[in-house]
Chain A
Amino acid sequence: MLLLDCPWCGPRSEEEFACGGEGHIARPLNSENMDDAAWGDYVFMRSNHKGVYFERWRHGLGCGRWFNIARSTISHEILAIYHVGDAKPELPE
Chain B
Amino acid sequence: MRAQINRLAQGGRIDRSEHLNFRFDGEAMRGHPGDTLASALLANGVQLIGRSFKYHRPRGLMAAGGEEPNGLVRLRTGGRAEPNVRATEVALYDGLVAESQNRWPSLRFDLGAVNDRLSPLFPAGFYYKTFMWPGNMWPAYEAVIRRMAGLGRAATAADPDRYEKQYAHCDVLVVGGGPAGLAAARMAGRTGARVILADEGAEFGGALLGNDQEIDGAPGMDWVGAMAAELANSDNVRLLPRTTVAGYYDHNALTMLERVADHGPAPEPHQPRQRLWQVRAKQVVLATGALERPLVLANNDRPGVMLAGAVRGYVNRHAVRPGRRAVVFTNNDSAYGTALDLAKAGIDVAALVDLRAETPLGWVAALDDAGIEIMAGRVVSAVEGRRAVEAVRVGKLNDTGTGLVGGLGRRLDCDLLCLSGGWTPSLHLLSQSGAKLLWDEGLGCFLPGRAQQAVRVAGAANGAFSLGDCLALGAEAGNRAANDAGHRRRGRGPRHAMAGEEPALTPPLPIWKIPGDDAGKAFVDFQSDVTAADLELAAREGYRSIEHVKRYTTTGMGTDQGRTSNINALGIVARALDVPIPQVGHTMFRPPFSPVTFGALAGRRIGPLLDPVRRTPMHGWHQDNGAAFELVGQWHRPYYFPRAGEDKDQAVDREVLAARTSVAIMDATTLGKIDIQGADAAEFLNRIYINGWKGLAVSGCRYGLMLGEDGMVFDDGVTARLGPEHFHMTTTTGGAAHVLDWLESWCQTEWPELQVYCTSSTEQWAVAAICGPMARPLLAELAPDWDLSAEAFPHMTWQDGAVAGLAARVFRIGFTGELSFEINVPAGHGMALWNALMTAGQKYAITPFGTEAMHVLRAEVGFIMVGQETDGTVSPQDLGLGRMVSGKKDFLGKRSLSRAHSLRTDRPQLVGLLPQDTNLRLPEGAQLIGGADPSPPQLAMGHVTSSYRSPNLGRTFALALLHGGHERHGETIYVAFDGQAVRAEVTAPRFLDPGARAK
Contact = CB atoms under 8 A, between A and B. Distances in A.
Contact of B250 (A36, A43, A56, A76): A76
Contact of A85 (B434, B452, B752, B895): B752
Interface string A18-39: 1010000011100110101001
Nearest to B900: A36
Given A34-B895, A66-B749, A2 B710 contact: no
Contacts of A85: 749, 752
Interface in A28-77: 28, 31-32, 34, 36, 39-40, 42-44, 56, 58, 60, 64-66, 75-76
A7 to B, nearest CB: 13
A32 B459 CA distance: 67
A1 interface: yes
Given A13-B280, A66-B748, A75-B434, A3 B251 contact: yes
A64 B894 CA distance: 28
Nearest to A20: B745
A32 B253 CA distance: 48
Contacts of B452: 75
B890 interface: yes
A32 B745 contact: no
B666 to A, nearest CB: 31
B899 A60 contact: no
* Chain A, interface residues (CB within 8 Å), range: 20 to 34
Contacts of B434: 75
A42 B249 CA distance: 34
B709 interface: yes
B900 A84 contact: no
A76 B251 contact: yes
A3 B454 CA distance: 13
B238 to A, nearest CB: 19
A18 B250 contact: no
A15 to B, nearest CB: 10
B710 A43 contact: yes
Contacts of A28: 895
A58 B744 contact: yes
B896 A39 contact: yes
B250 A66 contact: no
Interface centre among B251, B434, B741, B745 (most CB of A within 10 A): B251
Contact of B253 (A3, A40, A44, A84): A3
Contact of B745 (A1, A26, A36, A58): A58
Contact of A56 (B252, B710, B749, B890): B749
Contacts of A75: 434, 452
B750 interface: yes
Given A2-B250, A27-B750, A66 B895 contact: no
Contacts of A1: 249-251, 253, 278
B710 A18 contact: no
Interface string B404-438: 00000000000000000000000000000010000
B890 A32 contact: yes
B895 A84 contact: no
Interface string B220-256: 0000000000000000000000000000011111000
Interface centre among A26, A27, A32, A58 (most CB of B within 10 A): A27
Contact of B744 (A27, A31, A66): A66
Contact of A65 (B250, B280, B748): B748
Contacts of A20: 745, 749
A60 B741 contact: yes
Contacts of B745: 20, 56, 58, 66
Nearest to B711: A43
A27 B892 CA distance: 10
Given A20-B745, A20-B749, A85-B752, 17 more contacts: A1-B249, A1-B251, A2-B251, A3-B280, A26-B750, A28-B895, A32-B894, A36-B899, A36-B900, A39-B899, A44-B710, A56-B749, A66-B744, A66-B745, A75-B452, A76-B250, A84-B752
9 contacts: A1-B251, A13-B280, A36-B899, A43-B896, A56-B745, A58-B745, A75-B434, A76-B251, A84-B748
